[in-house]
Amino acid sequence: MDAVTRDFYEERRRKWRRSAFLWGFGIAAVLGLIIGGLSRIEAGWPAGPHIAHVAITDVIFDDTERDRMLQDLRDSEDARALYLEIDSPGGTTVGSEALYELVREIGEDRPVVAVMGEVAASGGYIAAIAADHIVARGNTLTGSIGVIMEYPDMTELLDRVGVEFQTVRSSPLKAEPSPYREPSAEGRAVQEAIIADSYDWFRGLVGARRELKGAALDAVADGRVFTGRMALDAGLVDALGGPDAAFAWLESVEPELADLPTKTWELAEEESGFLGIFGKITGLGDSLSRISDRRGPRLLSLYN
């Protein structure tokens, strides 16, 4: 092959490679758009003007997927109001805090109403007070305003079986509390300070959101549980009823909401293996999987 012919074929190959690269890049871009569109469809976020419905059930944990969903709802121009359905005994303080903050962000430019079910206590009540209006059933269990940290004390058991833990630590307060030794007075004081700080935060939310102070706030913030009727008298909720009362309030705030459909925002469930089957049978799958993944102590805003 002479030099001219070789150069000709080499130039053809270079053009083919450039063309293949451009075609490949174009196909990849199109596929990316298609996959992105499908993922948005798969996420199931409703479209068109509507009242968004979000259910908060079971124990509340710090949940990045839930938070992403609420962030998308916050940014949605189609969700004109939020109907929050709560049936939860509470959960971790951090999880309840994150949920509260996102619901408040949603409520900055649209009305939010919360309806309590069987129970909306402790962290569940934190979620409720993020709403502008709270509706409870007469026998809903609510309140339980407080924070708790619990851990097992295994020292007596270890003594009985003859097991002794040797600990080397940088300071006396490192890794306190521990189930393997009696807490020191100083360690106990530190834990109590943590509980007191979180409790002050919770109490402050209730006071600010429900416009309670002094003796009225003291009367509801001692950890006790109330029925819906008692909560109404104490100023913890705004009305008794169910979804009808909630939608009536929304329409009184913004009459145009009466013409909008209600659409549910929810995460896809992922169940697998024995835990998934057991969870489906018992209805505890989400809690079991989350609890099994917990590591270390947690501050709980939980009615138990």
Task: State the burial class of residue 191 (Cβ atoms within 10 Å of its Cβ: 0-12, 13-18, 19+).
Answer: middle
Between CA 195 and CA 206, with CA 201 as vertex, the angle to 5 degrees is: 125
Query: 């129970």: which residue's tokens?
Result: 119
| 96 touches 199 (CB < 8 A) | no
Q: State the pairing for strand pair 225-226/262-264.
A: unpaired
> Tokens at residue 56, please?
């908060």
Q: To which H or E segment does residue 25 belong?
A: helix 3-43
174 labelled catalytic: yes
Of 39, 88, 96, 122, which is the active-site residue?
A: 122
Q: To which H or E segment does residue 225 belong?
A: strand 225-226
Measured CA to CA, the distance from residue 228 to residue 231 in angstroms comes to 5
| 121 touches 144 (CB < 8 A) | yes
122 labelled catalytic: yes
Of 76, 96, 144, 174, which is the active-site residue?
A: 174
CA separation, residue 302 to residues 123, 134, 145, 183, 224 (Å): 6, 19, 9, 23, 12
Q: Spell out the residues 6+ positions from residue 175 whose beta carbon is closer than 8 angstroms to its own.
A: 167, 169
Residue type, 66: R
Measured CA to CA, the distance from residue 213 to residue 304 in angstroms comes to 26
| 118 touches 140 (CB < 8 A) | yes
Instruction: Give the residue numbers annotated as catalytic, written as ranges.
Output: 122, 174
